[in-house]
C-alpha cells in the first residue's frame, strides 16, 4: 500500500480485492467537489454484503487523532433537501471541517432511517405526521429505536491503519462503538446545526431520548 495519487496526496492502494477485517477494498478515484478535491474509495463489507464509500482528504494512512465522520445515509435529507432532520447539514459540515484539516475522512453507510430502511422510514414519517415522535414511530412499527451498526465502518478505519480518531459526532453510541473495538477516540468534534421549525421536535427527541449531545 504505497504511492500517492492526485491532488489529495492520499496513499494509493494498488491492489483492489485486498481484504482486511472482513472489509474488501474495491476501487478508488479522484473526486472533485464544490468543497474541494478528495479521493473516493469503495469497499464491500463481508459482514453485511453492503457497499460503503469513503471520501478522504489528505494522507490518512496510519494517522493518530485523525478526523473521522461515520455518516448514515439519508435519502430524504441529502437528495430532496428535507428539513425534517439535520442529516444533510451534518454531512456538509463534516466535509467542510475535514477539507480544512491536513487529513481526514467520511465513511458513508447505507443505514437509512436509523437502520430500518427507506420505505419504513417513510412509514415512520407518516406516524410522526399524526403526533408520534421519531422514537415512538420506530417502536410502533416494531423496530428497535436504533438499528445502526458501525462495525463495517470501523473495519475500514482498521484497514487504513488509523490508530486513533477525532470523531465528528453528536451520538455517544458511535464513541462507544469505537471504544469497544479498541480504537481510541482522542476527542469528539461536535456538529452544531441550527434547528428549523420543522426539525426542532426531532432534535429535541434525539437529545432527550437518544442522549445525543446537542
Residue 11: beta bridge partners? 4
How far apart are alpha carbons 110 and 52 in whole angstroms?
7
How far apart are alpha carbons 207 and 213 in whole angstroms?
6
How many other CB atoms are there within 10 angstroms of residue 179's CB atom?
11
Give the residue among 1, 62, 65 at the shortest CA–CA distance from 28. Answer: 1
How far apart are alpha carbons 67 and 30 in whole angstroms?
20
Catalytic residue selected from 48, 59, 65, 146: 146
How far apart are alpha carbons 54 and 31 in whole angstroms?
11
How far apart are alpha carbons 58 and 111 in whole angstroms?
26
146 is catalytic: yes
* Residue 74 grid coordinates: 439519508
Q: How far is CA 33 from CA 67, 75, 110, 142, 153, in A?
A: 19, 19, 21, 39, 22
How far apart are alpha carbons 87 and 130 in whole angstroms?
22
Catalytic residue selected from 86, 114, 148, 155: 148
Q: How, if at all, do strands 10-11 and 4-5 pair?
A: antiparallel
148 is catalytic: yes
Residues marked active site are found at 146, 148
Amino acid at each position: 500500500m504505497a504511492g500517492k495519487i492526485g491532488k489529495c496526496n492520499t496513499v494509493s492502494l494498488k491492489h483492489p480485492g485486498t481484504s482486511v477485517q472482513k472489509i474488501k477494498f474495491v476501487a478508488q478515484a479522484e473526486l472533485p467537489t464544490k468543497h474541494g478535491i478528495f479521493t473516493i474509495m469503495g469497499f464491500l463489507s463481508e459482514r453485511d454484503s453492503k457497499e460503503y464509500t469513503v471520501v478522504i482528504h489528505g494522507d490518512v494512512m496510519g494517522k493518530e487523532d485523525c478526523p473521522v465522520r461515520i455518516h448514515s445515509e439519508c435519502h430524504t435529507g441529502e437528495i430532496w433537501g428535507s428539513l425534517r432532520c439535520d442529516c444533510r447539514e451534518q454531512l456538509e459540515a463534516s466535509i467542510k471541517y475535514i477539507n480544512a484539516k491536513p487529513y481526514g475522512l467520511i465513511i458513508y453507510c447505507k443505514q437509512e432511517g436509523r437502520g430500518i430502511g427507506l420505505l419504513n422510514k417513510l412509514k415512520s414519517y407518516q406516524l410522526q405526521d399524526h403526533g408520534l415522535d421519531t422514537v415512538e414511530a420506530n417502536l410502533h412499527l416494531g423496530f428497535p429505536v436504533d438499528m445502526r451498526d458501525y462495525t463495517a465502518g470501523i473495519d475500514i478505519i482498521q484497514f487504513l491503519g488509523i490508530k486513533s480518531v477525532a470523531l465528528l459526532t453528536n451520538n455517544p453510541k458511535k464513541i462507544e462503538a469505537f471504544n469497544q473495538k479498541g480504537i481510541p477516540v482522542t476527542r469528539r468534534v461536535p456538529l452544531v446545526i441550527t434547528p428549523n421549525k420543522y426539525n426542532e421536535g426531532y432534535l429535541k427527541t434525539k437529545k432527550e431520548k437518544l442522549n445525543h449531545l446537542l
